[in-house]
Chains A and B, each alone.
Chain A
């Protein structure tokens, strides 16, 4: 029945399709050309190597924070859970933003397509070994998150009417001034805001719209779908809904999404666990592949370096540690101690990358959707596409969908709903991050805010219409550019975080701060 409906719709859409394919191609070429130089700069390799400097930048940053704060991600893990559970919450703060809420909202901005589509991209290009580097990047990234979210709360703006605004723009400007680098701080804050707007339009918008569209095409008949090549249709529908929420202020849509997203995450993880449980005998083998691939490459072109680059790149894109975006969401929490939010935020890369991304990767590896040579056991490399061969040459969200679908036949439909929901909630979060950066640059006011919001909606359509390559490159480049500025500032500001941490730990030790539950 469904097939007949789709066939009928496809027949009706056929004349449109020819014209629209032209629109899609034009958008692709224009954006691809316009963003090319920026993308090439961000992903430029270290001279004489193939290793992109930006990946090194993130890893070095996360490693420095890890050592500087004495492995806070391990030492502070238990305390972070206690804070989220409300063990230390002041009962007088009932009705204020709790640690749990700040974490959940920040997570709904990061858990999403990075976990579903990004992992598939990483594993298909970098091989299973990419997973190892992804996990390592997730663990190290916890320290970056700790640093930036503590600063986010410490230097937020609290307005007389009770609203708060925080994030790297504020801590870079205010914190650097405190350290005696007012001009540098101001420059960094402005640069961050510019890149944050680009990141909001790229990874927080176009990538999401693009992958949501890909999944919709996938379940409505693939290349026979009336949507195939007509990304602008998906784009206009999604842009319309986003418009209603961010411009029309229709809170009910946002609230429905915010409630459905955790449910989708639970269903997604649940399905992943079921597949892993059904193939429990292969989990050991899969981890073997991950470890072996991390250091040898298992015949995947690029070997160790390829796996490492892909792993780190996709982890950063998924959990956004060091990027600074989460500091914007976390800064609204009600707490007297900025460090508490730092503790809570370190759970974010753990949940996002160490748990959810690893699960996706295991499902992809175990279900055998990556083409391998039965004789040698090595993966078959598709040199033309530059990744491991898969049936139909798929990657991204379609590959994850195929992996889940090979065990649970109807799951691609559920995944399609999840993808659209995740995409939508990420867009809502990023529209807010982008808006905060926009108002930091251009001032608050309804005309200025409306300009950004309309621009944001236009980019939804552009994102859905473009092919994956240019979108993914531009998204990554914009988000990594945020990290360049943010981490530079974090190096200057980390002594302030350390002081906060020592002060807080002393209060904990002396019993000044005690559990209330």
Chain B
């Protein structure tokens, strides 16, 4: 077993990124750190009603992410004998994945590609494209 670590960006939908990461990790004896990012900006405008309910919503969102996104995947990795940890973060997916990879000295980032053919994605670029440009480590984009 190597001490290599792959950071995996997982949005809860693109299971193929997880699959690919698991295969790679099994082959190299690496560990996985699965990150679920909830898009959030501290500069977004909220109505007073939304301010009031923010903490409640956040608790609901994190709980849902924990039980429905991260926990099942960690369970599955464990059953396959792959060392995996999970993390839920709020913010910009590109910035956070790059930051976490750097902090944890990961050797690669693996993430899925969402809406590859969408109009918006083509104009503004997707998260995967953004990450490819700023990542401190090699990025694998899983279609």
A residues with a Cβ closer than 8 A to B are 86, 89, 94-98, 100-102, 104-105, 108-109, 161-165, 251, 254-255, 258-259, 261-262, 328-329, 332-334, 428-429, 432-433
Q: Is the interface of A mostly helix, strand, loop or mixed?
A: helix
Interface contact B56-A163, CB-CB below 8 Å:
yes
Distance in Å: Cβ of A406 to nearest Cβ of chain B: 32
In the bound complex, residues from chain B placing their C-beta under 8 Å from that of A334 are 54-55
Interface contact B40-A101, CB-CB below 8 Å:
no
- The answer, yes or no, to whether B52 is at the interface (CB within 8 Å) is yes
Of A96, A328, A428, the residue contacting B47 (CB under 8 A) is: A428
- Give complex CA distance A432, B50 in Å: 11
Interface contact B42-A100, CB-CB below 8 Å:
yes
Q: List 19 A-B contacts (CB under 8 A).
A: A94-B40, A94-B42, A94-B89, A94-B90, A95-B38, A97-B55, A101-B44, A102-B51, A104-B43, A105-B46, A162-B53, A162-B57, A164-B55, A254-B47, A258-B47, A332-B51, A334-B55, A432-B48, A433-B48
- Give complex CA distance A161, B47 in Å: 19
Q: Given A94-B90, A94-B91, A163-B53, verify A105-B58 contact (CB < 8 Å).
A: no
Inter-chain contact total with CB atoms closer than 8 Å: 86
Query: Looking across the interface, which residue of chain B has its beta carbon closest to that of A330?
Result: B51
Distance in Å: Cβ of A481 to nearest Cβ of chain B: 21
- Give complex CA distance A51, B47 in Å: 38
Distance in Å: Cβ of B35 to nearest Cβ of chain A: 13
- The answer, yes or no, to whether B45 is at the interface (CB within 8 Å) is yes
Q: Is the interface of B mostly helix, strand, loop or mixed?
A: helix
- Give complex CA distance A329, B52 in Å: 8
Distance in Å: Cβ of B39 to nearest Cβ of chain A: 10
- The answer, yes or no, to whether B23 is at the interface (CB within 8 Å) is no
Q: Given A94-B89, A95-B61, verify A89-B52 contact (CB < 8 Å).
A: no
Q: Given A163-B53, A164-B55, verify A255-B42 contact (CB < 8 Å).
A: no
- Give complex CA distance A380, B50 in Å: 49
Q: Please indicate which of the listed interface residues B47, B57, B91 has the most CB atoms of chain A within 10 Å of its own CB.
A: B47
In the bound complex, residues from chain A placing their C-beta under 8 Å from that of B55 are 96-97, 162-164, 334
- Give complex CA distance A96, B58 in Å: 7
Distance in Å: Cβ of B137 to nearest Cβ of chain A: 22
Query: Looking across the interface, which residue of chain B has its beta carbon closest to that of A86?
Result: B42
- The answer, yes or no, to whether B49 is at the interface (CB within 8 Å) is yes
- The answer, yes or no, to whether B59 is at the interface (CB within 8 Å) is yes
In the bound complex, residues from chain B placing their C-beta under 8 Å from that of A109 are 48
Distance in Å: Cβ of B99 to nearest Cβ of chain A: 10
Query: Looking across the interface, which residue of chain A has its beta carbon closest to that of B96?
Result: A94
Of B38, B43, B56, B58, the residue contacting A161 (CB under 8 A) is: B56
In the bound complex, residues from chain B placing their C-beta under 8 Å from that of A333 are 51
Q: Given A94-B91, A163-B56, A332-B54, verify A100-B43 contact (CB < 8 Å).
A: yes
Interface contact B45-A101, CB-CB below 8 Å:
yes
In the bound complex, residues from chain A placing their C-beta under 8 Å from that of B47 are 105, 251, 254-255, 258, 428-429, 432
In the bound complex, residues from chain B placing their C-beta under 8 Å from that of A328 are 48
- Per the 8 Å Cβ criterion, residues 76-93 of B in contact with A are 89-91
Query: Looking across the interface, which residue of chain B has its beta carbon closest to that of A158?
Result: B55
- Give complex CA distance A100, B54 in Å: 14
- Give complex CA distance A428, B89 in Å: 31
In the bound complex, residues from chain A placing their C-beta under 8 Å from that of B53 are 162-163
Q: Please indicate which of the listed interface residues B48, B53, B54 has the most CB atoms of chain A within 10 Å of its own CB.
A: B48
15 further A-B pairs in the complex, CB-CB below 8 A; given A101-B43, A102-B51, A105-B45: A94-B42, A97-B54, A101-B44, A161-B56, A162-B58, A163-B52, A164-B55, A251-B50, A254-B49, A255-B47, A328-B48, A332-B48, A429-B48, A432-B48, A432-B49
- Give complex CA distance A101, B57 in Å: 16
Q: Given A161-B56, A162-B56, A164-B55, verify A97-B48 contact (CB < 8 Å).
A: no
Of B38, B40, B46, B56, the residue contacting A258 (CB under 8 A) is: B46
- Give complex CA distance A261, B47 in Å: 12
- Per the 8 Å Cβ criterion, residues 85-135 of B in contact with A are 89-91
Query: Looking across the interface, which residue of chain B has its beta carbon closest to that of A333?
Result: B51
Distance in Å: Cβ of B128 to nearest Cβ of chain A: 22
- Give complex CA distance A97, B52 in Å: 9
In the bound complex, residues from chain A placing their C-beta under 8 Å from that of B48 are 105, 109, 328-329, 332, 428-429, 432-433
Interface contact A97-B45, CB-CB below 8 Å:
no
- Give complex CA distance A101, B49 in Å: 12
In the bound complex, residues from chain A placing their C-beta under 8 Å from that of B49 are 254, 432
Interface contact A262-B42, CB-CB below 8 Å:
no
- Per the 8 Å Cβ criterion, residues 21-75 of B in contact with A are 38, 40, 42-59, 61-62
- Give complex CA distance A334, B51 in Å: 10
Query: Looking across the interface, which residue of chain A has its beta carbon closest to that of B40?
Result: A95
Distance in Å: Cβ of B110 to nearest Cβ of chain A: 23
Q: Please indicate which of the listed interface residues B50, B52, B56 has the most CB atoms of chain A within 10 Å of its own CB.
A: B52
Interface contact B52-A101, CB-CB below 8 Å:
no
Interface contact B45-A96, CB-CB below 8 Å:
no
- Give complex CA distance A230, B113 in Å: 55
- Give complex CA distance A162, B58 in Å: 9
- Give complex CA distance A97, B47 in Å: 11
Distance in Å: Cβ of A103 to nearest Cβ of chain B: 11
- Give complex CA distance A109, B46 in Å: 12
